[in-house]
Amino acid sequence: MPPLSRRSFLAGLVASPVVAACGGGDDLPKELALGSTTTSTSSTSTTTPPLLQPLTGAVHTGDPAILNRPALIIKINNIDSSGSDQARPQAGLNQADVVYEERTEGGITRFAAVFHSTDADPVFPVRSARLTDLEICAQFGQPMFANSGGNRSVMNAVHSANLIAVGHEELGNDFFYRLPDRRAPHNLATSTPLLYSVTPAGALPPAPIFTYRQPGDPLPGGVPATGVRVEYGGGPGSVSVEHRLDPATGRWARSQKGTPHVDVAGVQVAPTNLIVQFIHYEGTRGVLSGGGAAWVFTGGQVVAGSWQRNDPVAPTSFLDAAGAPIALEPGPTWILLPPPFGGALL
C-alpha cells in the first residue's frame, strides 16, 4: 500500500477527535480504520484507534497538538576532520523523525534532520543550505527550514521554494546562538521549541512519506542482513560510514570513521530503519528525482530494491523487485544518499 496522500491524511485528521509531504544508480554491485463499534442488547462501545505519528508510523503518546504542526527541517554539520575542525558530537540527531545524509564537498556530508513528533533542545551545529535540501523539503508539504545561511544563489532558491524559512539569516541571534566551547562555524545552535514558536498560522502537518508494517504483518521479502558500509567520495574530509544491526535492539547502529557515532549525551545513533538511496550528484547537488537503486534495511533484513520519484512534490517511493512498496517498521528512519557504487553490504 502506497504512502497516504496529503488529502487522505488531512481527511483523517478532520475525522479524528484530535488533529493527528534523475539519478541513475542501477549499475550497482550485487551484493487506519476509524475505529470499530460493537453493539449488544445491553450496551454499545466504541474503540478509538491509536494516534499515529505521520513520519514514524509509531503510536503518539504525547501532546496530540504536536502533530498539528508542520515538519521542521534543520541542517546539521557533519565535518569529521582532525583537531578542532570537528562537528561531532552533534545534538538533535537522535530526536529527529527522519534524517537525510547528503554529500557536500570533498566527500564531507551534512544532515537534514526532520523533526515533527518530538522536540530537541539544543540542536547543533547548524550549517548552511545546499540545493539538495530543496528536493528533500518538497516531500513534506510546506515545511519549516532552518540553516545557517548559504551562498546567494542557494539562498535565493530557498526563498523561492515552497517552504517557511526560519534560518539564522531570517531570524537572527534571538533564535540562534554560539556555543563558547566550540570553534566557529561549528558552534551555531538553536532548538525546535524556539523555531516552532514562530510557526505561521495555517501551517499544515506533513503527510506520511513511508509505508509501515502493522502488528502481525510479515517482514518484507528481503534477506538477513548484518549491515552496510557507505562511502561518499574522495577528499581529505571524506566520510566513511557503517551501520550494523544491533541484535539486542534490532536497530542499525552507526559508526563513522571507525568510531561509534554518538550524540552529546553519549547515545549512539541507531535508527529503526535505514535506507541507502544511491543517487547521482551534479557538483554538490544531489539529484533526487527520477529513480535508481536502493537498499532498505528493516526488521533485521535488507531488501535490494529501487527508488522512484517522478513528481517533484511527491515523496520518494521505495519499491521491491516486484514494484511493491517496501513496508518499514514504525520508528525513526535514516536515508543515506551516496553516489552509485558507494555502498557495500557487510
Residue pLDDT, tens place only, 232-291: 986 666 788 999 999 999 999 999 999 999 999 999 999 999 999 999 999 889 999 999
pLDDT of residue 44: 58
Buried b (16+ CB within 10 A) or exposed e, 275-311: bbbbbbbeebbbbbbebbbbbbbbbbbbbbbbbbbee
For residue 240, tell me if it sits in a domain.
yes
Count of structural domains, the chain: 2
Give the lowest-confidence range in 41-45, 52-56, 70-74, 180-184. Answer: 41-45
Find all residues with CB under 8 Å of 178, minimum gap 6, and list them: 184, 187, 188, 189
pLDDT of residue 17: 32
> To the nearest whole number, what is the mean pLDDT of the chain?
88
Instruction: Tell me which DSSP letter residue 200 carries.
Output: P
The residue type of 86 is Q
- Greater model confidence, 284 or 9: 284
Same domain, 74 and 190: yes
| Final residue before a domain boundary, out of 179, 196, 213 | 196
For residue 45, tell me if it sits in a domain.
no
For residue 277, tell me if it sits in a domain.
yes
Is the confidence at residue 226, as pLDDT, over 70? yes
CATH code for position 186: 3.50.90.10
Is the confidence at residue 145, as pLDDT, over 80? yes
H-type alpha helices, the chain:
6-15, 131-137, 152-160, 168-171, 192-196
Sort strands 164-165 and 144-146 into parallel, antiparallel or unpaired. Answer: parallel
Is the confidence at residue 41, as pLDDT, over 50? no
- Do the Cβ atoms of 294 and 275 come closer than 8 Å? yes
Same domain, 93 and 150: yes
Cα angle 295, 125, 188; round to 5: 155
- Do the Cβ atoms of 150 and 158 come closer than 8 Å? yes
As a whole number of angstroms, the distance between CA 137 and CA 273 comes to 20
Same domain, 236 and 329: yes
Same domain, 79 and 154: yes
| Residue whose C-alpha cell is 563558547 | 180
Is the confidence at residue 345, as pLDDT, over 90? yes
For residue 340, tell me if it sits in a domain.
yes
Q: How many CB atoms lie within 10 A of CB 157?
A: 16
Tell me the per-residue pLDDT of 151-178, one tens digit each, with 9 for 90 and over.
999 999 999 999 999 999 999 999 999 9
**Mean pLDDT along residues 69-83:** 92
- Do the Cβ atoms of 80 and 215 come closer than 8 Å? no
Sort strands 227-231 and 109-115 into parallel, antiparallel or unpaired. Answer: unpaired
The DSSP bridge partners found for residue 276 are 295, 336
Most confident of the following: 13-17, 205-209, 214-218: 205-209
Confidence of residue 7 (pLDDT cuts 50, 70, 90): very low
Same domain, 184 and 294: no
Per the structure, the complete domain to which residue 260 belongs is given by 223-345
Percent of the chain predicted with pLDDT > 90: 77
Is the confidence at residue 48, as pLDDT, over 80? yes
Same domain, 72 and 191: yes
pLDDT of residue 233: 84
Find all residues with CB under 8 Å of 213, minimum gap 6, and list them: 219, 220, 299, 327, 328, 329, 330
pLDDT of residue 81: 82
**Mean pLDDT along residues 12-22:** 34
Same domain, 138 and 186: yes
Instruction: Specify the 3-state DSSP secondary structure of 216.
Output: coil
| Final residue before a domain boundary, out of 161, 196, 231 | 196
As a whole number of angstroms, the distance between CA 180 and CA 190 comes to 14
As a whole number of angstroms, the distance between CA 113 and CA 100 comes to 6
For residue 152, tell me if it sits in a domain.
yes
pTM for the model stands at 0.86
For residue 249, tell me if it sits in a domain.
yes
pLDDT of residue 105: 85
Same domain, 167 and 282: no
Tell me the per-residue pLDDT of 303-336, one tens digit each, with 9 for 90 and over.
999 999 999 999 999 999 999 999 999 999 999 9
For residue 26, tell me if it sits in a domain.
no
Same domain, 168 and 228: no
**Mean pLDDT along residues 221-229:** 96
As a whole number of angstroms, the distance between CA 31 and CA 63 comes to 44
Same domain, 146 and 106: yes
pLDDT of residue 71: 98
Same domain, 259 and 158: no
Same domain, 310 and 192: no
Instruction: Tell me which DSSP letter residue 56 carries.
Output: T
| Final residue before a domain boundary, out of 181, 196, 211 | 196
Is the confidence at residue 6, as pLDDT, over 50? no
Instruction: Specify the 3-state DSSP secondary structure of 335.
Output: strand
For residue 52, tell me if it sits in a domain.
no
pLDDT of residue 178: 97
- Do the Cβ atoms of 86 and 79 come closer than 8 Å? yes
Give the lowest-confidence range in 15-29, 103-117, 146-160, 303-317. Answer: 15-29
